[in-house]
Each structure stands twice: as C-alpha cells, then as structure tokens.
A and B are shown apart, each in its own frame.
Chain A
Amino acid sequence: MSARVEGLELRPLKLPPHERHVLSNGLTLHVVPRAQLPLVSVKLMMNAGSAFDPTGKQGVADFASRLLRRGAAGKSADAISEAVEFVGASVGGYANEENVIVALSTPAKHLAAMLGVFADVALAPEFPEAEVELLRRRTLAQLQNELDDPGDLAEKGYSRAVWGMHPFGLPTSGTMVSVQGLGRADLVHFHKTRLGPQVAQLFVVGDVTSRQVLPLVERAFGKWTGGPAQRPQPPAWPGLSKPRPVLVIDKPEQTQVQLRIGAVGVRRGHPDHFPISMMNAVLGGSFTSRLITEIRVKRGLSYGAGSSWDMMSGAGTFSVSSFTKTESINTLVDVALAEVKKMRERGPTAQELSTVQRYVAGLYPSRVETNEAVSSAIADIEHYGLPADWVSEYRARVVAVTREQAAQAARTYLPDRERALVFVGNAKQLLKRVQRYGDVEVLTPDALG
C-alpha cells in the first residue's frame, strides 16, 4: 500500500525479527531480540480470562492468577518474592476478560534464573490455604474501597448498562458475593482445567537471542501438559437489552457528575477497523477532537472528554466519557450526543481526516518502542487473528482510509437511537435533570457488586 496523505513520508519501521517456535507440547514461543537496554520482558498469555469463569465462581481466574506467586513448587511466597525482587525483577499474574496473563520483567543477566521462577509460579502454584484467606480479605476490602472512586463506578455502571449479563460485562475480579464463595479447590480446579500449553503463548522480548532462550524455555515449559485442547469462545452478544437505558449511580456527596454514553460497537479485527479508528480520532480520540473542542475548549464544561471503541473477540462497544459539575450535566449530554449525531450524519471533513491520519501514523512508531509494547502488539495479532503485517503496515492502512470510508463507518457504526447513558453523582439532584433521556434506574454503588 502506498501513502496517500500529501507530504507524509513514512520511513520504514526498523522491526526486529520475530521468531516463532512451537514446542512439542503445543506451547507457542515468540522471541523478539531487541538489545537497546539490558532488560527482558516475558509474558505468558493463556485463553482463560474472566469471561470463562463458571456461573457462581465469577472472579476465579483473576483470584487464582494473583495468587500464583504466593507459594509454588515448594517455595513460599516470601521465598519467591525475595528471589525475584532481589535482582530488580518483577513477576505477577492477573486476568482480563479474555486471557490470563503472567508477566516477568527482568534485567537480562538474570533471565535464566528468573525464567525458572516464572515457570514455577505459572505451572506449579500451590494456593496455600492461608494465602487464599489473606487474598480473600484483601480483595473484599479493595472491592468495597473501590466504591469510593466515581470514575471506577462509572466504568462498572457502563459495563452493566451496555453488556448486560454478557460475561464481558461482569467484573473481572468478581463480586463481593462470588469472592466470598471461592475456595482453594476452585483455584486448583481452575489451574488444572483451564490453563495448559495448547491455549498458551509465550512472548520473550528484549536483550536475548533465540539460541539463548529456546533451551531455557524448553527446560522450564517443555514438560507442561494438560488443560484444554482448544481455546474457549465467548458467547454471542445480542446487543443492548433495553434500547435506551439510563442508569444513575447515587453518590450523594459528589459535586461533579461522571458521564458515560455507551452503545454496541465492533469486534477486534473488524474489516472496517481503520475507517472506524480514523473517524473516532476526529470525534473524540485526539486532543483536537470535536468532543474536546466543543466540551472543553469552547465551553469549559470539563477537563476531559473522549470517545473510544472497546473491541473484543466477537463483539465490542462504543463509549463517550466525560464529567462536569452537576449543574452543567444536561449541556454536557446534549453537546456530546449532538456531536455523535453530526458525525454519524456527515462524517469527518477531508481536512480533519488528513490531520488525524498524520497524527496517528506519525506517532505509531512510539507505540512499539518498549519491550512490553512489542510483546503486546504481537500478542494482539495472535489472540485476535490480525494480519501478520499488522505492525509493519499499520501506518499504510491508516493513511489509505478515504473520507467516504470514514463517513460510511460513522453512518454504519455510530449509535442513533439505541444508546445507554450512565451517570455517577448525587441522584437527588440528577433525577429531574436526566429523566428526559429515558426510564431512569437508580442504583447505590454497592449494587454494582
């Protein structure tokens, strides 16, 4: 593909070689040697995220992942922490909706030793009873303390209003009730049945060579067996359960309201990815976006405003986020909805499109500048089945988008009448202001789990 944006010369990205090896047990290893700094990033991605937690055991993937380093292969939590942290490395696990991630960052000279500890933690965790109970108490406290954060509540409310009961909308770390119900047996079962080499990929990026890494990985992961033979698939999503839900989360002490507008979006790897991205950059994905201009620059209504597309496997959502003092909430909603409508009806101008193409393409190289970023980019390609030249051709695809394609994407994918509104603030002051947008449901923060 050739660049069509005038005066924009895309110098080639110097991409380090990406080598791929499949071990005999099915584990795929990716190695990217980058020697700028004596550091290595290691990431194990397993298709076992929270969306696949069984009903009633919500949060088990994340809970188990965070416990991996708290006792494994005959070593205590303290021994593992001491070994890793003494050399300036870090290791840890967590789950997102689709995957369990175990990550290691280490000075290159300690890679061999750290990879051993990393494998112990990922493959042979012991989930000691005392650690299970301790993490349960901490998790319950943290879940409760999160109810104080209005931005966090807005995200939770948004997930509930848009995704409904689809597993992508349920909290990754579970609810107070589900976490109460998790026992050691659940964690052991999770580890045995949902993790395994055939649903896993290992990424090693940094100051290493394949020759160095292969034997280390073979030794540490070569004997790993069991787990699922195929990656699980999330259920289909029928879209919003109600056409125009309005949700108010009551935080009586707030003098500012958090706003989210939500709607159905597209899956990751959608053929219209680039037209949608460019259109969105104009709408609310850059600092000169229409939302920033209308909300912040012209009206001083807020410090921030933006729109984004959360693209997952098989489905995705669209959102607009902002906040303002309670008295200005209607102006904020009206301005935001009007901008979405205007974009849907008329698309971006040629000038706007060309600006964001230069903006996104020009800065793209800095999105693959660190070991962790390279690792994430490759992991995305693998997980979402993106084209293998995703990184090298990203800028060319950005600049190839035409105004008509971007306008068509706006018409097709931006919401019209079906959208959710979520407010976090003083419900008493908000009710009379937001009733005009639809049937209002008021929830207390703890009702969000």
Chain B
Amino acid sequence: MPRPSARKPTLPSHLQALADSVIEHTLKNGLKIRLLPSDGVPTCSFYTFFKVGARNERPGITGISHLFEHMMFNGAKKYGPGQFDKVLEANGGTSNAYTSNDVTVYYEDFMAEALERVIDLESDRMRSLQVTPKMLESERQVVKEERLLRVDNEISGLLDEELSSLVWKAHPYRWPVIGWMRDIENIRREDCLEYFRTYYAPNNATIYVSGDFDPKRALAWLTKYYGAIPKGPPVPSVVDAEPEQKGERRSEVHHPAQAPTVMVAWRGPACANPDTLTLDVLQYALSVGQSSRLTRALVFEQEACVSVGVDWAWRFDQGAFMVAMELKPGGSPKAAEDALYAELLRVAKDGLTQAEVEKAKNNLEAHLLRELATNNGRAHALGTYETMLGDWRAGLALVSRYAAVTPAMVQDVAKRYLTPLRRSVVTLVPTQEGAAPQGVAA
C-alpha cells in the first residue's frame, strides 16, 4: 500500500460527505461489509469482490477463475439452475461480473425494494453453489466461444496474450485471464469445487452496497443471510517468483491484418509501491488528451501511428506499463518504436514541465470524480480502492496524494522503469488474408 502521508489529508466536501456516509462492518466469518447509502435515484448496486483471479491459478487449470465466474450464475441450493438471473430480473435487477488477473467481481443493479432478495440470491451461491457436470459442459462451450471472440479472432486479444507471456516468465500474470484453450477444455469438476471452497469463502470477500436503502435493515439482512456461512481455509499465498529481466524481449505475431501494431511493455512495480501513483501521473501526461506528450508527438506531429494508448493497470504483484500503437497500413513498426523511445527518453532526460504534471493531475481528479457519479460507480470505485490499496479511504484521498507528485518524481520513475532492459515488444506482422503461413521449404 502506498505510504500513508503523515498528516490526515483533508478531502473536498463532496468526497468528505461520501467518506462520512460509509458504514463498515465485519461478520464473525470474516466477511467485510461496506454500506454507502444515498438517495439520488431509487436503485441500489450490490458488489462482491473476491480476492481471486488468474493470479491464483496454475498451469493446467488456467482460466478456471473466469470459467468459475460463469458457473456462479448456474444455480445453487435454494435458487437452482437458471434461477439467479430470472429472479433478479423479476425483481427489477440485472447482474454481471468480471475476472481480472487479481480479482473476481460480481455486481447487481436493481430497484431499491429488491435489496433483501438480492442478498438472499448472492448469499445462496456463496453458501451452496452447485456445479453439475451438465452445466459445466454447457458453460465450457460458452467460454470457448468467448475465447474465439475475444482472442483467437481479435487482433488486440492475440497481441495481449503474446505480450503477457513475454513480460512474465514465472508469475501467473503470464497466462491470459480467459485461459489457454486446451486448459478450458480440460478443467474438471473437482478443480472447480476445490476452487470454490478455497477462494469463495466469506473471509476472502468484501461486499459493497450503494444506493437508496436503510443501512440498519441492510446490515440485519446481511447478517441473517451471510452470518451462518462458515469461514474458509486460509487462502494460499501466491509466490512472485518472477526473475529479474536482463534485457529486451521481442516477439512477432504473423496474422492477416490491414496494418502493423506495436505493443511495448515495461516491467513496473506492484500497486503497493508508492511509485504506482507517480506512474499514474506519467500515464495521463503521456496519453490522455490530444495535447498529451505521446498523442501530440506520435499521432499529430510525426504521424508515426494512427493512435497511441498507455495502460498502467494496478496489480497486486509487479505489473507492466504498456503502450500500444496502431499504425497506418504500410507503416513502419521500427520507425514507430524509435519515435516512441525518443519521446520517452526526452521525459527521462528532461522531465515533464510543471504544467504537464498539473494537467495530468487535473485529469486524474476529473476521472475519479466521474467514477463516483452513479450508485454502481461508487460501489465499484470503493471496492477497487480497498482491494488494491488496502483501504477505500486511500482511494478517496488519491487526489491529495497525486498533488504531492512532482515533475522530478515523474522524471525519476520514467528513468528507472522505462528502460530498454525492462521492456518487451510484440509486433503484429500483417499477412495476406487466407495466405498459407510462411515457412522454410522442405
């Protein structure tokens, strides 16, 4: 977790009001509860964050976190197969979920009157999920189609997958969240059951309820429905065995495409490292808005690429600072790469201007504010902050923490992290559609 500042930061009034409204509670079984009552619109959002993701998998069962996320909608003891969404929709609600490398997150948005029913539905599947062979087989087919859609038939998916396996050699971040196709095909029911027992216990979860409800009644219902679910075993820790990177790594993907794409990733810190927030500022200064460093230089001035994006995602273990450049047809990946490195070198050598750093902070602040505009957004934001930073308060205080970031600090992280020795590069090499793969003639 980023170092707490010595004095307690004062929050702007709208954030202070949100902070003051949060009610925290922990059940005896370890389930953490955060209530965020407000009366803007007569709906609620209910979020459950589980600290489990692809990071907790091992070779052979890659993708099980995500497959399991699907299985969570396929029936428990009280509400059987197909019932979860039916009952929810009949109560004016909808649900969805996502799995990342680090977490699995479920949510429901629903009319305020349905809160008790949603608590009943959610606690039912935490208590008594049923994994029947038939449902598992059907859901496996759905997930295989999802993989075909998002990875095998989509260029950005192919490249992401290649880049991750290049950046990480030993850490589970090296495999895709959706899993390798063969693993998806071979995950067994017993693997799922063990996964459920280990990671879906109350002590590995935190619930966020946001919207128009009475917190006293909500807490009573949460206690009633969740209270008797037994605590699970301690969650096995994940060993970050990733060795130090000793030099640039490169890879190519040959695939039918109109134009090349270049993706570059630099090994970055874990989200608990204070450098994380400085890299947030750097990310915004480089790529948010048409006046940002990389967009202005690479897209508008040099036309080295058609678009450039920077993705610095917080992760539990050492993450990656990623840049993706979409080129024009016939564009030169080498020239785009050189142009990118020249810009980054300039940042490392001369730093950013004070104005650029201020601009990045103002955009981060506006972004944080927009996240808090809806019941769903507030619950999700607080969940993310608490999961990644250890405390949701740290999230609401981000603006004042960003305020402490100086141009010198940004220059320093650029210098330390964005070096050739820490980078991995994947290039999409366009081939003719339908052409046979090139190979050495026998």
Contacts and interface: CB of A to CB of B under 8 A. Distances in A.
A88 B94 contact: no
Contacts of A362: 43, 91-93, 110-111, 113-114
A38 interface: yes
B373 A354 contact: no
Interface stretch (B24-32, B135-143, B270-278): B135-143
A268 interface: no
Nearest to A147: B258
B257 A148 contact: yes
A88 B142 contact: no
14 contacts: A9-B113, A11-B113, A77-B300, A78-B296, A86-B362, A137-B328, A255-B153, A302-B145, A303-B143, A362-B110, A363-B111, A366-B376, A369-B374, A369-B375
A11 to B, nearest CB: 4
Contacts of A251: 256, 433
A72 interface: no
A324 B292 CA distance: 40
B335 interface: no
Nearest to B140: A300
Interface of A: 8-9, 11, 13-14, 36-39, 69, 77-78, 81-82, 84-90, 105, 107, 134, 137-138, 140-142, 144-145, 147-150, 251-256, 286-288, 293, 296-304, 323-325, 354-356, 358-359, 361-363, 365-366, 368-371
B90 A369 contact: no
Contacts of B113: 9, 11, 362
Interface string B41-84: 11100000000000000000000000000000000000000100
B258 A359 contact: no
Interface string B353-366: 00100110011111
A86 B355 contact: yes
Contacts of B153: 150, 254-256
A365 B145 contact: no
Given A134-B300, A363-B92, 16 more contacts: A81-B296, A85-B292, A87-B362, A88-B362, A90-B289, A134-B303, A142-B306, A145-B306, A252-B433, A299-B138, A354-B90, A358-B89, A358-B90, A359-B89, A362-B111, A363-B94
Contacts of B85: 287-288
B380 to A, nearest CB: 13
Nearest to A354: B90
B259 interface: yes
Contact of B41 (A13, A107, A302): A13
6 nearest A-B pairs in the assembled complex, by CB-CB distance: A362-B92, A300-B141, A362-B111, A88-B366, A252-B434, A141-B328
Interface of B: 12, 14, 39-43, 82, 85-86, 89-95, 109-114, 137-146, 148-149, 152-155, 255-259, 288-292, 296, 299-300, 303, 306, 326-329, 331, 355, 358-359, 362-367, 369-370, 372-376, 433-434
Contact of A369 (B91, B329, B373): B373
Contacts of B92: 8, 358-359, 361-363
Given A287-B89, A300-B145, A371-B373, A365 B94 contact: no
Contacts of B375: 366, 369
Contacts of B89: 286-288, 355-356, 358-359
Nearest to B148: A256
Contacts of B434: 252-253
Contacts of A368: 41
Contacts of A145: 258-259, 306, 326, 328-329
A316 B370 CA distance: 33
A7 B187 CA distance: 43
Contacts of B331: 141
A355 B373 contact: no
B303 A137 contact: yes
Contact of A300 (B139, B290, B372): B139
A302 B144 CA distance: 9
A221 B256 CA distance: 49
A113 B359 CA distance: 16
Contact of B152 (A8, A11, A255, A366): A255
B148 A325 contact: yes
A85 B327 CA distance: 25
A300 B366 contact: no
A126 B111 CA distance: 49
A370 B358 CA distance: 27
Contacts of A82: 291, 359
Contacts of B110: 362-363
Contact of B289 (A85, A252, A323, A370): A85
Contacts of B288: 85
Contact of A303 (B145, B258, B362): B145
A39 B90 CA distance: 35
A147 B281 CA distance: 34
Nearest to A254: B153
A449 to B, nearest CB: 14
Nearest to A328: B145
Contact of A11 (B14, B42, B95, B259): B42
A255 B145 CA distance: 10
A90 B259 CA distance: 29
Nearest to B40: A36
Contacts of B303: 134, 137
A86 B359 contact: yes
A5 B98 CA distance: 32
A89 B300 CA distance: 20
Contacts of A324: 145
A175 to B, nearest CB: 15
Nearest to B305: A141
A356 B363 CA distance: 39
B238 to A, nearest CB: 28
Nearest to B153: A256
Contacts of A302: 142, 145
Contacts of A287: 85, 89, 94-95
Nearest to B70: A303
B291 A148 contact: no
A287 B85 CA distance: 7
Contacts of B257: 148
A253 to B, nearest CB: 5
A85 B363 contact: yes
A366 B109 contact: yes
A303 B145 CA distance: 6
Contacts of B42: 11, 13, 365
A110 to B, nearest CB: 9
A442 to B, nearest CB: 13
A107 B359 CA distance: 13
B374 A370 contact: yes
Nearest to B306: A141
B121 to A, nearest CB: 13
Contacts of B433: 251-253
A299 B366 CA distance: 45
Contacts of A105: 366, 370
Nearest to B261: A145
A138 B366 contact: no
Given A144-B329, A300-B141, A253 B41 contact: no
A300 B300 contact: no
Nearest to A150: B153
B123 to A, nearest CB: 20
Contacts of B91: 358, 362
Contacts of B362: 86-88, 107
Given A77-B290, A255-B153, A37 B369 contact: yes
A149 B152 CA distance: 12
A301 to B, nearest CB: 7
Nearest to B39: A14
Contacts of A354: 90
B93 A363 contact: yes
B259 A303 contact: no
A113 to B, nearest CB: 13
